[in-house]
Each structure stands twice: as structure tokens, then as C-alpha cells.
Amino acid sequence: MSSLPFLPFTRPSLDEATIAAVGDVLRSGWLTSGPKMQAFEAALSDYCGGRTVRAFNSGTATLEIALRLAGVGAGDEVITTPLTWVATANVILEVGARPVFADIDPATRNIAADKLAAAVTPRTRAIIPVDLAGLPADRDAIYAIAGQHRLRVIEDAAQSLGASWHGKPIGSFGDFVSFSFHANKNLTTGEGGALVLPPDVDPALCERLRLQGVARSPSGDMDVDVLGGKFNLTDIAAVIGLGQLPHLSAFTARRRALARRYFELLDPRLGLALPLADFENSNWHMFQALLPAGADRGAFIAAMKARGIGVGVHYPALHLFSLYRRLGWKEGDFPIAEDVGRRIVTLPLFPAMADGDVDRVCSALSEILERR
């Protein structure tokens, strides 16, 4: 066992000013959605170039509400990737539609444009591309396909806040854009999310769907005209986001520096397949490598843990989960995603890491994989 402190694969960076601001909210007596949530929405809107942004209690909720705002429902199909957190597909089922998967590009590990185009049918209503590990999916190709078939695009940008596409920040352009602020994200509110709205969507309807469909009038009267949920973000969470947002560019820069160090130090003879070395667009939310074919991932994770290093798996191919097998998918349907899902490992990468932590991870990788 290692005598060094345990190095997790991720850890949030929270400064003392943010921690103190949470205390101020607790002392204020206004804990749920209020002035801090409104300020956080305004700050996110500024970041997204003035677009309308609404905050939610999770990135899952933002995807579901985006589908509802896009009019997706029973009998419709939505195309997405099988290599993502299962929430991306679950929300499609939640609104009564059917997920349709398209295999990934082996270099980017995002949805492949040619496979996406081939998956469009007369029932397709929307596309949910996912920016795996913070590397943006090909916006040009995706929006070209969407425009050709008159489809809505709901960008699952849960992992790509701080990333860009040819110089334009993710969230500052496009159709719907969904962010997550889970504890492992580049910007966290503990739990939370935000939805960037296109101009043809009524923000007031989004707000009603966020909170039980309730519409209030100045007289105190209330009406409910749509079926909403309980998806609002608390002021406690929002003030964490307000403390995080000014540091986002610094977080991104540090993540990119750590990723560069991985590329410099990892020995190509180890047989690891490394991610695409994109230092222009990606925010390096995660550093993911593929183990050599035939490697025992469980044994590898255990060996790294014995050396005091945490490793994640993001993600197994979701169409092979029991729920989705019961809906008709099977092994062999999306061979590239399946291969990546069997071999992928997430190595430690977060802003508070020292250069020496990367050195430590690379040394452990060499010991374990050379022994294999």
C-alpha cells in the first residue's frame, strides 16, 4: 500500500470565499431559489454571450426539460451516443420517446457524423450530441445534419463548460445547450445544472416546467397550465456556482497543462490509447486512456488503488445495460463504443493537482502495465 495521500481521479476546487458565501446564505434565511439563483443565471448568461439561461437542480433535469420544450414525446425518436452517462438516454425514455444510438468516432470518442446521418428516420425529432470528457462533438457536422432534416439539437454539454468550438465558447451559440454542475464537473454547485435557451423558446414556459407548472400573478393568484416538475436550484447551490465561475478560465488552463504533462510523460510502449490531443477546444474535464486489448480492467483499478491512486470508468456502453437490452439492443450493435467502453479508464486530473501527481500516476502506470 502507498504511504502517500490518496489521489482521487477528481476533486472540486472550492476557495474560502465561496465557503464563507455559503455561510452567508445559510444565515440569510433564504435557502431555496431566490436572489443568488437569479444572480447565477445572469452570470451564466453573460458567459454565454447574453443568451437566456435558466438554472436547475441537475444536468439531467435540463435535458428532460429541453426535450419537453422541443415538443419531443411519445412515438418520436432522438439520436444520441451509446458512450455517455446513462442519464442522456434515460431522459429520452422519460418523455416517452425512443433513444436511437449511433456509434462513435474512434479518435474523438464522440458520436460519428456519418453514423448519425444514417440513423435519421421519419420519426427523428432531435439529436443529443455529448461532449465526452469535455471535447466538443463536431458542431458543424451535427448542425448541418439537423438543418437538413429540420431537427432540434440538445447539446449535452454536461462536461464541456469552458470548452470552445473554433474560438466560440460552448453555450454561446447553437440550439439548446445543457450544462451540469455535479461535484465532479469543472464548475460545481454541489449538484445542479443550467439550460441555455434558443430564441424561439419562451423562458416563462421553461420556468413553469422547472417548478410544478405554476404561474403566479401580481395579485397573488396562481394557475397551473402544464405538468411541471421539482427541478429548481437552491440559493445554497447557486452561491457556490457564483464563487466558481470567475475561476473557470484558470481551471481550464490548469487542466490543459496537466493533460499536456500526461502526453509528455506517458510511454507509448505501454500500449495505452490516449485521447485526442486537442488543446484548443477541449476543457479536459477528464483524461481518459484505453487499456491494451485484453487487459483486466478490474485488476488494473485495484493495482492503482493499492498505490493510492483513484481511477474512474466513464463509461460502459449504455446500450448493453439490462434496461436497454430489454428494449432490443445487443452486443455488436455499436462495436467501436463497446470496445472503448470495455477498455476506458479515467486517470486523475483536477486543478489542484501538482505536476508531481501526474508524474506519480505515470510511474504507477509504467509499473503495472510493464509487469503485465
pLDDT value for 43: 98
End residue of a domain, out of 245, 268, 286: 245
State yes or no: pLDDT of 48 exceeds 90. Answer: yes
Question: How sure is the predictor about 3, in pLDDT bands with cuts at 50, 70 and 90?
Answer: confident
pLDDT digits over 89-142, tens only? 999 999 999 999 999 999 999 999 999 999 999 999 999 999 999 999 999 999
Work out how many domains the chain is built from and give that number. 2
pLDDT digits over 274-283, tens only? 999 999 999 9
Torsion angle, CA of 126/101/134/162, rounded to 10 degrees? 10
Same domain assignment for residues 172 and 240 = yes
Same domain assignment for residues 326 and 346 = yes
pLDDT digits over 295-348, tens only? 999 999 999 999 999 999 999 999 999 999 999 999 999 999 999 999 999 999
The percent of residues above 70 in pLDDT, for the chain, comes to 99
- 58 occurs within a structural domain: yes
- 10 occurs within a structural domain: no
Same domain assignment for residues 268 and 220 = no
pLDDT value for 1: 65
pLDDT digits over 144-162, tens only? 999 999 999 999 999 999 9
pLDDT value for 371: 76
End residue of a domain, out of 245, 275, 307: 245
Domain that holds residue 238: 16-245
pTM above 0.85, yes or no: yes
Same domain assignment for residues 218 and 292 = no
Mean pLDDT, range 239-260, rounded to an integer: 98
Which CATH number belongs to the domain containing residue 264 in this structure? 3.90.1150.10
State yes or no: pLDDT of 372 exceeds 80. Answer: no
- 114 occurs within a structural domain: yes
Same domain assignment for residues 277 and 183 = no
Same domain assignment for residues 114 and 221 = yes
Same domain assignment for residues 67 and 200 = yes
Q: Which residues are catalytic?
A: 185
Q: Can you give the three-state secondary structure of the chain, one letter per residue?
A: CCCCCCECCCCCCCCHHHHHHHHHHHHHCCCCCCHHHHHHHHHHHHHCCCCCEEEECCHHHHHHHHHHHCCCCCCCEEEECCCCCCHHHHHHHHCCCEEEECCECCCCCCECHHHHHHCCCCCEEEEECECHHHCCCCHHHHHHHHHHHCCEEEEECCCCCCCEECCEECCCCCCEEEEECECCCCCCCECCEEEECCCCCCHHHHHHHHECCEEECCCCCEEECCCCCECCCCHHHHHHHHHHHHHHHHHHHHHHHHHHHHHHHCCHHHCCECCCCCCCCCCCCCEEEECCCCCCHHHHHHHHHHCCECCECCCCCHHHCHHHHCCCCCCCCCHHHHHHHHHEEEECCCCCCCHHHHHHHHHHHHHHHHHC
Same domain assignment for residues 67 and 178 = yes
- 201 occurs within a structural domain: yes
